[in-house]
């Protein structure tokens, strides 16, 4: 690996290969790094081939250098300014629906709490007619 590579430096490289998870970029004759799909551009990238082609010269920022594993993490996205969203409308808060209050008499249907069922289960466990032999 080249000694001049530092995290945060911006370099020019050439795309040498494209995979579904990212693009390989040659920084010089001996050094190659990977631009992960999430670092291609701002926003969602479904297909890298829509943004890059083998042979393209691109500017990349060095995100990480792992000399032991021989891996260099690169980003194209961090060399570009984030686009300003055209429709900068403030989002409306969602309306919350209040839970219905059920009167006590109607509340007997449905689920029982464990506290309510515990005594019933204890009584059932001692009944001989319910025990399978």
Q: Give the mean model confidence (pLDDT) for residues 12-31.
A: 92
**pLDDT for 108:** 58
User: Are 39 and 63 within 8 A, CB to CB?
Assistant: yes
Distance CA 88, CA 90 (A): 6
**pLDDT for 19:** 93
**pLDDT for 129:** 73
Tokens of 124: 């059932």
Q: With DSSP H G I counted as helix, E B as strand and the rest as coil, what are the percentages for the chain, rounded to 5?
A: 20, 25, 55
Q: pLDDT, tens digit, for every residue of 58-97?
A: 999 999 998 888 889 999 999 888 777 665 567 778 888 7
Q: Give the mean model confidence (pLDDT) for residues 23-43.
A: 91
Topology classification of domain 10-79? OB fold (Dihydrolipoamide Acetyltransferase, E2P) (2.40.50)
User: Are 58 and 13 within 8 A, CB to CB?
Assistant: yes
- At residue 132's C-alpha, the angle toward residues 130 and 133, to 5°, is 135
Does 1 have pLDDT greater than 60?
no
Say how far residue 23 (Cα) sits from the centre of its chain.
19
Tokens of 17: 């290969």
> Where are the domains positioned within the chain?
10-79
């Amino acid at each position: 690996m080249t000694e001049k590579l530092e995290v945060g430096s911006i370099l020019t490289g050439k795309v040498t290969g494209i995979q579904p998870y990212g693009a390989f970029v040659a920084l010089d004759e001996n050094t190659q790094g990977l631009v992960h799909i999430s670092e291609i551009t701002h926003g969602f990238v479904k297909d890298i081939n829509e943004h890059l082609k083998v042979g393209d010269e691109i500017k990349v920022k060095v995100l990480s250098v792992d000399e032991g594993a021989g891996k260099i993490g690169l980003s194209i996205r961090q060399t570009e300014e984030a686009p300003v969203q055209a429709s900068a409308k403030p989002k409306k808060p969602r309306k919350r629906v209040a839970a219905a209050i059920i009167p006590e008499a109607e509340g007997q249907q449905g689920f029982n709490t464990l506290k309510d069922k515990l005594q019933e289960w204890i009584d059932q466990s001692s009944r001989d007619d319910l025990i399978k032999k």
